[in-house]
Amino acid sequence: AQSVTQLDSHVSVSEGTPVLLRCNYSSSYSPSLFWYVQHPNKGLQLLLKYTSAATLVKGINGFEAEFKKSETSFHLTKPSAHMSDAAEYFCVVSDAGYGGSQGNLIFGKGTKLSVKP
Partner 1 sequence: NAGVTQTPKFRILKIGQSMTLQCTQDMNHNYMYWYRQDPGMGLKLIYYSVGAGITDKGEVPNGYNVSRSTTEDFPLRLELAAPSQTSVYFCASSPTTGGMETQYFGPGTRLLVL
Please report whether residue 103 would count as binding partner 1 according to CB under 8 A.
Answer: yes
Please report whether residue 102 would count as binding partner 1 according to CB under 8 A.
Answer: yes
Per DSSP, the three-state class of 84 is: helix
The CA dihedral of 112, 65, 50, 113, to the nearest 10 degrees, is: 10
Residue 102: CA count within 13 A, CB half-sphere: 2
Quote the radius of gyration of the chain (alpha carbons, Å).
Answer: 14
Please report whether residue 9 would count as binding partner 1 according to CB under 8 A.
Answer: yes
Using CB under 8 A as the binding criterion, the count of chain residues that bind partner 1 stands at 27
- Give, as ranges, the residues between 32 and 91 that touch partner 1 (CB under 8 A): 32, 34, 36, 41-46, 49, 51, 90
List residues binding partner 1 (CB under 8 A).
Answer: 9, 32, 34, 36, 41-46, 49, 51, 90, 92, 94, 96, 100-110
